[in-house]
Structure 1
Amino acid sequence: MESSTPNRIRNFLIAIVAITLSVAVALGLKTQTTGVSLNAMSAEAVPLEVALTNGNPTLMEFYANWCTSCQAMAPELKSLKDSYGDRINFVMLNVDNEKWLPEILSYRVDGIPHFVYLNDKGTAIAQAIGEQPRTIIEENLVALSSGSDLPHAQSIGQTSAFSSPVGTKPSDPRGHGSQVVEKS
């Protein structure tokens, strides 16, 4: 009977440690989420048809909900939309939606996030692929809104792989590469 008391104490301590670790992991995962939903941002975005005809310049983003780079950039893009949304269209096109296949092919989307900067006439003037620092995007948005040349049209960042056509998923969505295409 004497040996059961140390076992009970040991089991109790193991249970306390397991509970503590579970709570720590749960809180750690909760703090890593951005709190900004790509679906909510997409629902609030300017429809492409409107953006191409309303006379405002546009930042168009090709994204996917599974894209870790897209998720990482969501809070910054939401903040930029809040600051510049009155003079620049923010358009979001989900690459998993076959509706956008013509645009995916037209802009040669092969990594996401993929950004296309359109002037006030709806003409693509530059593209950037991959995670971009807020300062880079913001400086481009300021130039875009004033009709100036984009200072960071050659920016490169981390991407999540994407292969067209839309119906296929990449074998490794966490695979990363980078590419920038500038149009003159």
Structure 2
Amino acid sequence: MTGQSASASLSALQKILLVISAVVLAVVLFLLRNGMSAESPMDQLARRSLSPEVALSNQAPTMLEFYADWCEACREMAPAMLDTERRTSGRMDVVLINIDNPQWQDLIDRYEVNGIPQLNLFDADGELRGRSLGVRTPAELEALSTALIEATPLPQFSGIGSISALEPVDSIATATSGSAGPRSHG
């Protein structure tokens, strides 16, 4: 073997070892970043979620979360939501709705989702009791789930609003007849 061919063989071997090292490093980094888990807490919750229709009609309180896979705040809250789902199993339903799935557009419109994560909080009869916008701590999620399960007033946290009943359409029309509304251009 000449000196030049030995040098070429050594160079080819170095390149192969470099590629193998890079692949091994990439796999290790991927596993470390994903916690050595094949499924994130958000994926586990989404997979185990009941359909909203079933959850809202099965006589159990429901915490419905609107989320997106790309939402950093949703991913941050996911472990606490998974813990809430496990802790309240059989007493409350935790349902995830991915806003990027066109299947749920009717629910997104119905519940006026304009930010995520958004929690809609329902009593055992499927009636909307409140709404929460933004990340909730484990303690806040525990307080919310306890209030839903025990049918007590929702805790007063920043970003949580109660839902009030609207007047029937007929009474509004009667009260405002003859006056210009915001869209009447009159």
Question: Which TM-score band (shorter chain)?
Answer: 0.5 to 0.7
The aligned residue for residue 74 of structure 2 is 70
TM-score by length of structure 2 reads 0.67
* Alignment equivalent of 1:182, drawn from 116, 139, 162: 162
Kept in 2, the 8 Å contact 1:34–1:71? The answer is no
Equivalent of 2:112 in 104, 108, 114: 108
Deviation digits for residues 89-147 of structure 1 (CA, Å, limit 9, x no counterpart): 11111100111111111111111110000011111110001101110110111111011
Partner of 1:42: 46
> Residue 37 of structure 1: CA displacement?
3.9
- Cα distance in structure 2, aligned partners of 1:183 and 1:54: 21
Count of aligned pairs: 141
Report the identity percentage: 29
Q: 2:158: which partner in 1?
A: 155
Matching residue of 1:122: 126
Normalising by structure 1, what TM-score?
0.67
Structure 1 residues 46, 28: closer, same or farther in 2, change over 3 A? closer
Larger Rg belongs to: 2
Q: Distance in 2 between matches of 1:144 and 1:130?
A: 19
Change (3 A) 1:30 1:130: same
Q: Secondary structure at the match of 2:85?
A: helix
Give the whole-Å Cα distance in 2 for the aligned partners of 1:34 and 1:125: 35
Contact 1:34–1:75 at 8 Å: present in 2 too?
no
Aligned counterparts of 1:30 and 1:47: Cα–Cα separation in 2? 27
Distance 1:62 1:130 in 2: 10
**What value does the CA root-mean-square deviation take over the aligned residues?**
2.5
Matched, 1:94 2:98: yes
Q: Does the 8 A contact of 2:61 with 2:122 survive in 1?
A: yes
Question: Cα deviation per residue 1:141-184 (whole Å; 9 max; x = unaligned)?
Answer: 111101111113x433xxxxxxxxxxxxxxxxxxxxxxx44313
On the 8 A contact 2:41/2:82 being kept in 1, the answer is no
> Are 2:55 and 2:93, in contact at CA under 8 Å, matched by a contact in 1?
yes
Gaps of 5+ in 1: 1-14, 157-179
The structure with more helix, counted as a fraction of residues: 2
Structure 1 residue 68 displacement after superposition: 0.6
Unaligned runs of 5+ in 2: 1-17, 165-186
Shift of 1:30: 4.9
